[in-house]
Structure formats: structure tokens, C-alpha cells
Amino acid sequence: MISQKMQQKLNEQITKEFYSAYLYLSMEAYFASQNLNGFANYFRVQAQEERDHAMMFFNYINHVGGRVILGQIDAPQTDFSSLEEVMKMTLDHEQFVTRSIYDLVDLAIEERDHKTNAFLQWFVTEQAEEEASAENNLHKVKLVGTDGRGILMLDAEMAQRVYTPPANPNA
Ligand code: FEO
């Protein structure tokens, strides 16, 4: 079992992860409309990963005998002024998610809920990778600026990203 408070916070995390998927799908749509199909592909994969994250929390709550309650997902931003804005927003969003995961870990420790803490450690590692990728992407788009050739080179790089399902026993 998990506490009512932990259950509520884990349920809220499901909503945050689905919102992340929604936000990245919105970015995919934006890039598709700009004919930057590599960037669109990158964010499609990102959105798939976020749905996996949401389902990992969903499955975990069920696994420990809790009750999943799905919350409302806000509409994401639909238009963006530049490549750099998208990448900055991605980094900001991932930092927000990291803080949220850390809050969950803090609660697990406070409640001596070692089982949930162990489950959450996968996300601690994942968030470090997410932030590193977002920082790297932001750095690259800042480097190329508005140079068309540079943007097309980055677009080709982004097209290489392939979705791989999470290797997590709780998924
Ligand atoms: Fe599920 Fe990108 O955090």
C-alpha cells in the first residue's frame, strides 16, 4: 500500500507526464507546419516517451493496490516564435518535471516509503538525461541561429531519433 497523500501526488504526476506528451506533440505539429520534419520526428519520439512515463506511474499505482484518478490535461502552447524558444521551453519544462520528481522522492523518504522511492529512482536518472539532451539541443540551435544550412543540418540529425520502449520492470 501507499499513503493517500502519496497516491494523490503520483496521480498528479500522471497528469504532468501526459501534459508533457501533449506539449511535445504540439511542438511536433509546429515543426511539421514549418516543414522541419526532423525536428517534428524528434518531438514525436519525445511525446511517445512521455506517454510511457505516464503509464509507468499508472501501472505502479495499480501494482501497489492504489487507485488511479486521471486529472484534467491543460491545452499546450500551439505557436512558437523560433527554434530557440521551443528548445528553451523544453529545457524549462524538463527542469519543472525534475523538481516534481524530486518532491515525490522527498515525500517517499519522509514517509519511509522505500518501495516508491525505489520506483522513482528510474525517473531521477531519466530526468538527468532529459535535461542534458534539452541543454545540448538548446546549445546547438543557439549556435546555428537563423542560418538556414545549419538548421537543415540539425533537422537531418533530429530525423535520426528512434523510439525505444523503456527498459523498466514497472512499465
Ligand atoms: Fe517524463 Fe520528460 O519527463
Helices (H), 64-113: 83-110
The string of pLDDT tens digits covering residues 29-72 is 999 999 999 999 999 999 999 999 999 999 999 999 999 999 99
Confidence of residue 167 (pLDDT cuts 50, 70, 90): confident
* Phi, psi (rounded to 5 degrees) for 162: -120, 140
155 CB within 6 A, ligand 1:
no
Q: Domains along the chain?
A: 4-158 (1.20.1260.10)
Q: What percent of the chain has pLDDT over 90?
A: 95
Confidence of residue 168 (pLDDT cuts 50, 70, 90): low
Atom of ligand 1 nearest to the CA of 94: 2
- Computed over every residue of the chain, the mean pLDDT equals 96
Distance from residue 33's CA to the centre of ligand 1 (Å): 24
The string of pLDDT tens digits covering residues 60-91 is 999 999 999 999 999 999 999 999 999 999 99
16 CB within 6 A, ligand 1:
no
Task: Output the pLDDT for position 49.
Answer: 97
Sequence-distant (6+) residues with CB within 8 A of 2 are 10, 61, 64, 65, 66, 113, 115, 116
Atom of ligand 1 nearest to the CA of 16: 1
Is the pTM of the predicted complex or chain greater than 0.85? yes
